[in-house]
Amino acid sequence: MMTVNEVSQLTGVSIRALHYYDQIGLLPAAGHTDSGYRLYDDAALERLQQILLFRELEFSLKDIQRILENSAFDRKMALEQQITLLTLKKQHLEALIALAEKLQKAGGSIMDFTAFDTQKIKDYAAQAKQQWGATPEYKEYEEKTAHKTVKETADMGSQLMAILAVFGTMQTKDPAAPEVQAQVKKLQDFISAHYYTCSKMILNQLGQMYAAGGAFTENINAAGGPGTAEFAQKAIAIYCKE
């Protein structure tokens, strides 16, 4: 685990920015010291790499958060898109350098503005964003959060995490127990009310994602205690089979 200061020194991201990413739910800390200072694990650093790659490609924080929280998010596919976009940016910079060198050698103006054209980059970036937002659920989420403030969005994420954390207090029970299943229903209803219509199929996918390791698992277990994410996934699986 690394402190926020160590992460800042390692990545070049300011401590203020890391605090902000945590506050809006984009990069939650994996834990806290006894004094309340944020701590980050390997999963959090991996997520930070994804955030920084998207930022290099000039994606907004809102777009990045929506992409990373999309239940269909595929890291391998995202990396392929990022590599393509970065390659396009590289080609654009090389074209600008070549034009500048021509101008330097010519000692005068050259009426060539093709090197300034960034439409190809814009088109591919728009396509990538649209791909992650192509599902009806994503569009519904966009509509429901369009007018929410950063604080409202962060509070919504905190409420969702609080619902998930309750599963940690239920681990001595059978995941099929009525009270546990009632908590799953509460989770489903909350997602439907604040994010998008959460069908049993989608809920089951979310449950698998919660327990699949990485930032989601770490954050849920940090909130509810070890094993919370895995227990929640079992309860969700039972609920979705009914």
Mean pLDDT check: name the lowest of 126-130, 183-187, 229-233.
126-130
201-222 tens-digit pLDDT: 889 888 887 887 766 788 899 9
Which three-class secondary structure state does DSSP give residue 226? coil
Sheet holding 38-40, edge to edge: 2-3, 38-40, 31-32
Give the whole-angstrom CA distance, residue 107 versus residue 105.
5
Q: Which residues, including other chains, have CB under 8 Å from residue 3's CB and lie 6 or more apart?
A: 33, 37, 38, 39, 40
Instruction: Tell me which of 63 and 162 has the higher pLDDT.
Output: 162
User: For residue 129, what pLDDT is reported?
Assistant: 66
Taking CA atoms, 236 is separated from 68, 118, 124, 192, 207, in Å, by 21, 46, 37, 15, 6
Structure tokens at 66: 């929506």
31-52 tens-digit pLDDT: 888 888 899 999 899 999 989 9
Residues 74-85 as b or e (16 or more Cβ within 10 Å = b): eeeebeebbebb
User: For residue 117, what pLDDT is reported?
Assistant: 80
User: For residue 210, what pLDDT is reported?
Assistant: 85
Which stretches within the chain are classed as H helix?
4-11, 15-23, 42-56, 61-69, 75-106, 119-132, 136-145, 150-165, 178-194, 200-210, 215-224, 228-241
Q: Average pLDDT for residues 54-67, to the nearest whole number?
A: 82
Across the chain, what does the average pLDDT equal? 85
Residue 196's pLDDT band (boundaries 50, 70, 90)?
confident
Give the whole-angstrom CA distance, residue 89 versus residue 97.
12
Give the whole-angstrom CA distance, residue 86 versus residue 39.
30
* Tokens 């937002």, located at residue: 133
Give pTM, 2 decimals.
Answer: 0.50
96-126 tens-digit pLDDT: 898 888 888 887 677 778 878 878 777 777 7
Residue 68's pLDDT band (boundaries 50, 70, 90)?
confident
User: For residue 135, what pLDDT is reported?
Assistant: 60
**pLDDT at 232 exceeding the cut of 90:** yes
User: For residue 187, what pLDDT is reported?
Assistant: 97
Within 10 Å of residue 221's Cβ, how many Cβ atoms? 23
Single-letter residue type at 167: F
Residue 15's pLDDT band (boundaries 50, 70, 90)?
very high
CB 220 within 8 A of CB 158: no
